[in-house]
Structures are given as C-alpha cells and as structure tokens.
Amino acid sequence: MIVYLNGSFIPHEQAVVPVEDRANNFGDGIYEVVSFADGCLFAFEEHMDRLRYSAREIQLDLPEDPSRYAAVAERLMTENSLAGYASLYMQISRGVAPRLHAFPAQARPTVYIAAKPGKYVPDEDREKGRPAVTLPDLRWGRCDIKSLNLLPNVLAKQAAAKAGAQDAILIRDGMAIEGAASNLFAVFNGTLVTHPKGPHILGGITRQHILRLAESLGIPCLEEPISAEAVWKADELFFSGTMLEIMPITKIDGKVAGGGRRGPVSARLQTGLHREMWGK
C-alpha cells in the first residue's frame, strides 16, 4: 500500500512520524474522510472547506491549498489499484516540536493521506437497520472542529460495539445531539428533523447533502434540537456519515424505535444520495 507523507509517496510500512509530533502528544491536528464512489471523489471541495474551517479554528496554518490534494488522492487510487468504492483519510498535525503546550514558534505541519478500499453497507442491512444505544455526551465544547481529540467518541463507539449496536446517540442537557461518529436525523409526521449546526455537532458533509436532497424532494426539513424523549416518538430515525451514508436506527437500548424498520423518507433519501454519489 502506497501512502502520502509530507510530499512523498512511500510504502505504508515506511510512513513513520516522530514521537514528538503534536498529533501524538496532544491530538493537536485535524482530519477528513472523503469517499470515492465509482472511482470518483465525492464532495471533495466541501470536505476541503471543512478542513480549512477546522484549521482556522485551531489556528493551524495549512502548508498549502488543500484543493491540490485531489491530485494526491487520484494518484493514491492509481498506485493502489483502487476502483469502485474507497475511502480517503487525510490528517494534518501542527508538526514535530518539543512537548510544550503552547504552540511551537517554528514547526512544519505533518501531512498524511491514505486511500483504501471501502466497505459498502449491503442494501439489505440498510433495509433492516441497526440498533443504537444512548450515552451521555462527554465530548469537548467544539465538536464542530474535526480534530484528532476523539477519546470520548472512541469510548462511546466501544460501548455501542459491546452492546451490539451501530453507534451511540449522545445526550446533552436532555437533547439527542448526534452519534459518536455520525449525525442524527428523525422523522416526525413526514418532517425531517436534525440538530442545528453549532459547536455541539460536527457539520457533516453527508448531513448537508441530505438536507439539500430533502428540499429537492419536497420533504419538509427542520434544524432544531430533538429531545431525548422525542426520539422514542419518531416515525423514523437514522444516522448519516461519509462512509455510512444513511443507516436506519431500528432499536435503542434494546427497545424498538423508529418504527423498527427503514421508513419511506429514509428510503427516498438513500436512493437519492446513492444517485448523487454513483450517478445512477
């Protein structure tokens, strides 16, 4: 497997980063995950806009315009003989410096990019849906930044995995915010509802596409908080994410939720999203 590290294309086993890289010591960096559908980057510029936003919010000077990484991605696809469905992982840290909390006076950002085959979720799994669990939201106050500080997310995903669930619905101040690695949507009487953008959620790229798609399909949309109690009254529930796309939630904490199946709104949105990604 060939990867990109600081301007060079090298074998994965040779891609090493010094132990004093600030990603290692502080989680001081940002990342993005982009999907390839039918060998083409999907919503790449939207992901790069979010990368720029994350960099700006943590005061990280990007070493170059992220748009040029499209060429890097295409070469990685070729070098690794990837086609069809694949994922691109991009990580940029503040760089290597002695372990001091304040920003180093001089440090060159570390840029790592890798592409690998994606695991497409079978249509039958999307029809059946998957279970979720509820957990307190223990993340920091800037979830809108796609940073490397993911330990609370890791612990939530592990708790979900131990319970045999897809993801955790994170609860903050009595509200169902989002998943540990996904955005959350609910449908009430035909209206699509998701938590509004802000510091408590990541502004998902797939989330954006779903909202635009819903509008084009004439599905009413609201961006407003969803109470933890209201989740149980939803006609449909689903998670969304770059590689997940749309995944219906059919159980919460072991009890039937969201009608116990994929609903008609979720099905229409998944069909439309698939058409956007694959052109068919």
Task: For 253, list phi and psi in degrees, rounded to 5.
Answer: 50, 40
Pick from 132, 125, 215: nearest CA to 180: 132
Which of these is catalytic: 116, 146, 162, 280?
146
Q: Which residues are bridge partners to 241 per DSSP?
A: 245
E strand or H helix that includes residue 21: none
Pick from 147, 143, 182: nearest CA to 165: 182
Which residue is it, tokens 């099905």? 267
Between the CA of residue 7 and those of 12, 112, 181, 187, 200, what are the distances in Å?
14, 9, 29, 45, 34
User: Would you call 146 a catalytic residue per the annotation?
Assistant: yes
Which residue is it, tokens 């009413």? 220
Crossing angle of helices 44-57 and 205-216, in 10° steps, is 130
Give dist(CA 41, CA 34) in Å, integer. 7
Q: Which amino acids are annotated catalytic?
A: 146
